[in-house]
Amino acid sequence: MRKFIFKSSGLALLAAGLAAVAAPKPNVLFIVVDDLRPQLGCYGDKQMISPNIDRLASEGALFDRAYCQVPVCGASRASLMTGLRPTPTRFVDYDTWVEKDAPDVADLPGWFLQHGYDTFSMGKVYHFYTDKKESWTQLGDTNITGKGWCDYQRTTPGMPGPSYESADVPDEKYCQSQIADAAIARLQKISLSGKPAFLAVGFTKPHLPFVAPKKYWDLYDHDGLKLAPNPFQPRGAPNEAMHNFDELRAFSDIPKGKAPIPDDLALSLIHGYYACVSFADAMVGRVLDELDRLGMQDNTIVVLWGDNGWQLGEHALWCKHDLFNTALHVPLMIRAPGIKPSRTDALVEFLDVYPTLCELAGIPSPGHLQGKSVVPLLHNPSASWKPAVFSRYRDGESVQTERYRYSEWKNGARMLYDHQNDPDENTNISENPENKTIIENMQQLLRENRETP
């Protein structure tokens, strides 16, 4: 009879390997909130009422300095979901289709589908509902009506209505509640399936129009709201940096042409934005509560992000569509099994989400990814990290470093802001002779980024 002798280290490795094989893959709850800027309680805002998102942030990793690749929803989502940077011809605007701009690339849900996951999409995940539909096991499983207050009231059929609305109706009259209902129903099915799932849930508020049940408006004292502290074009900023916020202009109660927004209307828009954030927060809370009720929280990775920033009158701008910090700075938080709560001010960008989820789920990353997994930051929030992150919009491109944001356009227009001395970006210092070396360094970073395969 032959004797087999194993060294203890060999037995340990064998046991670890068997445990890895036996361990179930974690689920992924992937929450995206449209036009959500990092003006939340967890980011230090004392006025915003966002207890559910704040709770998630307190239980996971909160990223203080996360940036989107493109300040518009369709292109931003496409970049994050594919792990590819935008270029002058790829992921350009809101009407981006991944299957047109990057048809042969495995997107995030498609990659998880290939690695044994069921994948589900609820609400607005891609800008176009059916984009990359082959990446989903099921593309929605609810009949969201789109009626009543689900979108907004139209005064004339086929024409935009007002930019905000405070209707004294229950939550379920709005599609945000219906999206939460669908996500809850899907979580219940996932809990019984015995198969890992990637569940993407996209809430459309606080995107325009600012429509939400009255009870969310009532959370805020209208008379206590304040206008943006810098409602002017930054000193020395080029005209290329500015825009006419046409997305807002389309609504029936907004001045046409290039007329400014009156202060009383601006306060109502700010009030509406806050109400919609609190409405979205309540729906996020419903989904998270169901995850906990089902006992799934210990085997589920939760990531929440806002697809781009948003202007509330800063720099005399509304919406996004520009290269200011208010349009590019975004909320990002990740809660994962075995990861302690933390907070980091490391520079991260949306490209980093795809490789991070792969690593957390224990699946390989595809070779085309251009981001960097932030899992090391989850374990050590003060770890040395990226020196710069990058964004672009149409013919402008921008780089953010620890201290500076620099942007330039094809025609030579440019702007530089020193966030140490000017965090609100009120004075463009790109033409100051003493900043020549800084400009050259930032331009070099942009060149290197363009050349990254």
d(CA 53, CA 40) in angstroms, rounded, equals: 8
Task: Give the Cα separation of 137 and 193 in Å (integer).
Answer: 13
Q: Give the rounded distance of the alpha carbon of 217 from its chain centre.
A: 24
404 phi, psi to nearest 5 deg: -120, 150
- Give me the count of residues in the chain: 453
Catalytic residue among 127, 207, 271, 329: 127
Of 42, 68, 73, 319, the catalytic one is 73
What DSSP letter does each residue of 131-185 carry, written as one string?
TTGGG-SEE--S-----TTSS---SSTTS---SEEEE---GGGSHHHHHHHHHHH
Q: In what order do the strands lie in the sheet with 414-418?
A: 388-393, 396-401, 404-409, 414-418
Pairing of β 164-167 and β 318-319: unpaired
Q: What are phi and psi of 282, to 5 degrees?
A: -65, -40
Alpha helices of 194-298 — where are they, by DSSP H?
214-217, 246-249, 263-293
Tell me, yes or no, if 73 is annotated catalytic: yes
Count CB neighbours of 313 within 10 A: 22
| Cβ-based neighbour number of residue 285 at 10 Å | 18
At residue 22, φ and ψ (nearest 5 deg) are -75, -25
Angle between helices 73-82 and 353-361 (to 10 degrees): 40
Q: List residues bridging with 28 in a β-sheet.
A: 198, 301
Catalytic residue list contains 68: no
Q: How far apart are alpha carbons 413 and 444 in whole angstroms?
A: 16
Catalytic residue list:
73, 127
